[in-house]
Structure 1
Amino acid sequence: MPVRGVRQHRRRDPRRSRAAGRGRCVMRAFVYERPADVEQAVAAVAADPQAAFLAGGTTQLDLMKDGVWTPDRLVDITRLPLRGIMVEGQLMRVGALTTMEQLAAEPAVTERLLMVREALLAGASTQLRNMATIGGNLLQRTRCRYFRDPSVAACNRRSPDSGCAAVDNTARMHAILGVDERCVALHASDVAVPLVAVDAQALVAGPGGQQRHIPLTEFWVRADEGPSIEHVLTHGELVTAVDVPLLPAGWRSGYLKVRDRASYEFALCSAAVAVLMDGDLIADVRIALGGVGSVPWRARQAEQMLRGTHVDPVRFEQAGRATVAGAYTLPGTAFKVDLAVATLTRQLLAMTTEANS
């Protein structure tokens, strides 16, 4: 049976208490329920426009406390049978409730998808990795400071047709690809970047027992295509697993994350690169960038430029320049153009050189 969410109180700055009329703020009441299976969970959310799924909650609860996200009903899916990792041939299926730490410890990831392990370890502290789920990580909301501050009225992602405060104010942790003047919000996930590079797919359960597979390259909606729409899921659809192709023998991969500090911090730019070498010839390559796009950015043009070519730093830089061509920049984000080129060039050199050592 549903139960009422517990009202929680927290102290406010006394200097603000007069405006609030009291010295505390109160979290909105909400209905909390724990369904018995996936079908019940999907039906509960689909039937209520103000309902949402709750898993690890490592970012959802922050958004609730800040008043950015105010669901009337939380459907807890943490006890559903959506955990675990199954490897079958060239495919690894990861349950949506598998934690980041569990996936990082999977032997198949270490042996055949090292860039995924490196992205997971760079993406969060140990405490968070033991709580945050893979499904939740893919669906995390943007870290844009203006989106997460309800006192800022201009945010097309939070309030459609209201404007974008970042365009006229300080913007550094924002995107330069897949954005325009309506929204420069950045997709913050680390692990999504290598998953996009290997063409992973999300398994999704919908109302009425419907099931579908969505390639992660098509899962998110670019900000310049719809600033208030973050992904292609319809209300009530639930990610139940992620199918991840394993790199065949002979491939080498790695994830490079550039950030302001080595401790837990979001990427200014990141590059997931997987290569298959034939001597000093690049037989095949997979590339995706993070920290620069409104979605995890698959660099297909760079891949095409590099397949069948020899290891060449100049060629690597040219591939990077092609990737960021047409970037939409603000005074605070213009540095990311050169940073993306340098990050990709460095990671390509590291992967192709080590593959031949």
Structure 2
Amino acid sequence: TRCPYFFETSMPCNKREPGSGCGALEGANAKHAIFGWSKSCVATHPSDMCVALAALEATVSVQAPDGSERTIDFTDFHRLPGSSPEKDNTLEPGELITAIDLPKPQFTEHYHYLKIRERSSYAFALISVAAGLKIRGGIITDAGLAMGGVAHKPWKLTNAEAYLIGKKPSTTHFEEAARLALEDAQTLAHNEYKVPMGTKAIVRALEQAYAKKA
């Protein structure tokens, strides 16, 4: 996860020093989370690749020191902060990632990754959206949606995905999916803009995915 308060050692940060507090909770939090945050941490996950992997429903294979193996759904790999934000993922001590597997491709024709930054030279997104659509006979039969820059982990938009299945691809349906995706957002003092920005970003990503032909 990424937060300037982690790097500023004069400020409290539960991720850097558990129990010290979260400086961003009541501080400058314009770039912080609107989903899944707790009073212990409001930082966001910075990756682009992980957002796409969440949309594609990847899995993570891990091996323990005793040689035993297990598989973790990608959406369960990263943790929400809860009361222990110093823990970024669900790996057990000594476990090693051995593979990341993708299911059979479903979104081979209609897909898009949208990344909104303050400046194009910046590495990290204020909001990002990974969108994939499977369309057969003019109807959406499968959808993959995830957002970045909004939570402690890549944020899978399961309610929006479920809404889109069985619908015709249209701006009206994309707007309703976006509304559903953001309806549970909990903003902080300075990041209310992420709700309208995120709503429009989802619609734009879906429109771009629908318009694209591989």
With structure 1 as the length reference, what TM-score do the two structures score? 0.57
Give me the whole-angstrom Cα distance separating, in 1, the residues matched to 2:207 and 2:7: 37
CA distance 1:250–1:242, shift in 2 (3 Å): closer
Q: Deviations over 1:229-254 (max 9, x none)?
A: 21111222111221122414754222
Once the two structures are TM-superposed, the CA of residue 219 in structure 1 deviates from its matched residue by: 0.4
The residue aligned with 2:101 is: 243
Once the two structures are TM-superposed, the CA of residue 184 in structure 1 deviates from its matched residue by: 0.6
Q: Secondary structure at the match of 1:318?
A: helix
Is contact 2:36–2:80 with CA below 8 Å preserved after alignment? yes
Q: Deviations over 1:202-222 (max 9, x none)?
A: 121221222221111110111
Once the two structures are TM-superposed, the CA of residue 339 in structure 1 deviates from its matched residue by: 0.9
Q: Deviations over 1:302-352 (max 9, x none)?
A: 001111111222321221121122222112211111111110000111112
Q: Secondary structure at the match of 2:5?
A: coil
Give me the whole-angstrom Cα distance separating, in 1, the residues matched to 2:92 and 2:28: 33
In structure 2, give the amino acid aligned to 1:200: A
Q: 2:150 aligns with which of 264, 276, 292?
A: 292
Is contact 2:26–2:189 with CA below 8 Å preserved after alignment? no
- The answer to whether structure 1 residue 146 and structure 2 residue 19 are counterparts is no
In structure 1, give the amino acid aligned to 2:194: K
CA distance 1:353–1:249, shift in 2 (3 Å): closer
Q: Deviations over 1:71-125 (max 9, x none)?
A: xxxxxxxxxxxxxxxxxxxxxxxxxxxxxxxxxxxxxxxxxxxxxxxxxxxxxxx
Q: How does 1:13-92 map to 2 (within 5 A)?
A: none
Is contact 2:38–2:83 with CA below 8 Å preserved after alignment? no
Equivalent pairs, count? 214
Is contact 1:188–1:290 with CA below 8 Å preserved after alignment? yes
Q: Secondary structure at the match of 2:203?
A: helix
Q: How does 1:114-193 map to 2 (within 5 A)?
A: 142-152=1-11, 154-193=12-51
- The answer to whether structure 1 residue 229 and structure 2 residue 91 are counterparts is no
CA distance 1:164–1:346, shift in 2 (3 Å): same
Once the two structures are TM-superposed, the CA of residue 225 in structure 1 deviates from its matched residue by: 6.4
Give me the whole-angstrom Cα distance separating, in 1, the residues matched to 2:82 and 2:34: 11
Give me the whole-angstrom Cα distance separating, in 1, the residues matched to 2:8 and 2:98: 31
The residue aligned with 2:170 is: 312
Give me the whole-angstrom Cα distance separating, in 1, the residues matched to 2:138 and 2:188: 39
The residue aligned with 1:111 is: none
Q: Deviations over 1:249-291 (max 9, x none)?
A: 7542221111111124201111111111124321211111111
Once the two structures are TM-superposed, the CA of residue 155 in structure 1 deviates from its matched residue by: 1.4
In structure 1, give the amino acid aligned to 2:123: E
Q: Secondary structure at the match of 1:245?
A: coil
Bigger-Rg structure (1/2) = 1
Q: Secondary structure at the match of 1:289?
A: strand
Root mean square deviation of aligned Cα: 1.9
Runs (5+) with no aligned partner, structure 1? 1-141
Once the two structures are TM-superposed, the CA of residue 226 in structure 1 deviates from its matched residue by: 3.9
Give me the whole-angstrom Cα distance separating, in 1, the residues matched to 2:83 and 2:76: 12
Q: Secondary structure at the match of 2:198?
A: helix
The residue aligned with 1:209 is: 67
Q: Secondary structure at the match of 2:212?
A: helix
Is contact 1:199–1:215 with CA below 8 Å preserved after alignment? yes
Q: Once the two structures are aligned, what percentage of the paired residues are identical?
A: 37
With structure 2 as the length reference, what TM-score do the two structures score? 0.92
- The answer to whether structure 1 residue 327 and structure 2 residue 185 are counterparts is yes
